[in-house]
């Protein structure tokens, strides 16, 4: 693996990036197969949107508005859901903003379509993102 690249996020980018991280963690904090089918599909799709939003930002340096709108709309819908249908969740939709990010937030994603692996290290206090993108075979 080569050296990590680094990017200083402005305040707005940082807010959006952290929102996407929290939403991604929320959709992945429970095993999908333990969810009712209606939530399973919803969480899988929503997590994929958050994943796409994060990797697009890494590659293009911008957030896609339609992805951010989807996350906001999905969160609003989940907040309206019957509380009993969400009982198996450790983190409820209204608690996403309370997910505390560590001083260093490590994330790793593999994009099955492109074969790329994304290694991200985010430092919320400094609003710094370090990242490395490797192709199949670790290049």
The tokens for 62 are 């911008």
Chain segment 68-118, per-residue pLDDT in tens: 999 999 999 988 888 888 888 899 999 999 999 999 999 999 988 889 999
Report if residue 107 sits inside a domain. no
Chain segment 29-39, per-residue pLDDT in tens: 888 888 888 88
Q: Percent helix, strand, coil in the chain (nearest 5)?
A: 50, 15, 30
Read off the pTM: 0.89
- The answer to whether the CB of 23 falls within 8 A of the CB of 43 is no
Report if residue 130 sits inside a domain. no
Report if residue 109 sits inside a domain. no
The Cα angle at residue 72 between residues 119 and 85, in degrees rounded to 5: 95
Report if residue 114 sits inside a domain. no
Q: At what angle do helices 65-80 and 11-28 cross, to 10 degrees?
A: 50
Task: For residue 98, give the nearest of 19, 39, 30, 12 by alpha carbon.
Answer: 19
Domain extent at residue 59:
10-101
Q: In total, how many domains does the chain have? A: 1
């Amino acid at each position: 693996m080569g050296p990590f690249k680094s990017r200083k996020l402005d305040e707005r980018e940082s807010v959006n990036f952290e929102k996407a991280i929290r939403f991604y963690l929320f959709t992945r904090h429970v095993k999908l197969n333990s969810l009712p089918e209606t939530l399973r599909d919803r969480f899988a799709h929503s997590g994929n949107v958050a994943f796409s939003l994060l990797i697009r930002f890494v590659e293009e340096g911008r957030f896609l508005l339609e992805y951010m709108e989807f996350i906001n709309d999905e969160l609003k819908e989940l907040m309206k859901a019957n509380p009993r249908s969400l009982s198996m969740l450790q983190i409820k939709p209204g608690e996403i903003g309370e997910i505390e990010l560590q001083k260093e937030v490590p994330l790793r994603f593999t994009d099955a379509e492109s074969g790329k692996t994304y290694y991200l290290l985010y430092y919320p206090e400094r609003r710094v993102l370090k990242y490395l993108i490797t192709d199949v075979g670790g290049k």
